[in-house]
Amino acid sequence: MPEQGQRWTTLAELGRDHHNEIRDDRGLVGIGTEPSFAIGQRALLVPHGGGNVLWDCISLVDDDTAAEVERRGGLDAIAISHPHYYSGMVEWAERLDCPVYLHADDREWVMRPSERIVHWEGETLDLGHGLTLVRCGGHFVGGTVLHWAEGDALLSGDIVQVIPDRRFVSFMYSYPNLIPLPEAAVRAIVAALEPYAFERIYGAWWGRFVPRDGKEAVSRSAERYAQALRGR
Give the H/E segment covering residue 148.
strand 144-148
DSSP code at position 180: P
Query: How confident is the model over 178-187, as pLDDT tens digits?
Result: 999 999 999 9
What fold does the segment set 11-229 form as a domain? Metallo-beta-lactamase; Chain A (3.60.15)
- The average confidence (pLDDT) of the chain is 96
104-126 average pLDDT score:
98
**Domain locations in the chain?**
11-229
Distances (CA, A) of 217 to 137, 213, 225: 19, 6, 12
Query: How confident is the model over 6-17, as pLDDT tens digits?
Result: 888 999 999 999
Query: How confident is the model over 38-61, as pLDDT tens digits?
Result: 899 999 999 999 999 999 999 999
pLDDT value for 5: 86
DSSP 26-62: TTEEEEEEES--TT--EEEEEEETTEEEEES--S---
Give percent of the chain above pLDDT 70: 100
In this prediction the pTM is 0.96
Q: In 10 A of CB 196, how many CB atoms?
A: 16
Residue 72 has pLDDT above 80, yes or no: yes
Pairing of strands 144-148, 131-135: antiparallel
145-168 average pLDDT score:
97
Backbone angles phi, psi at 140, to 5 degrees: -135, 155
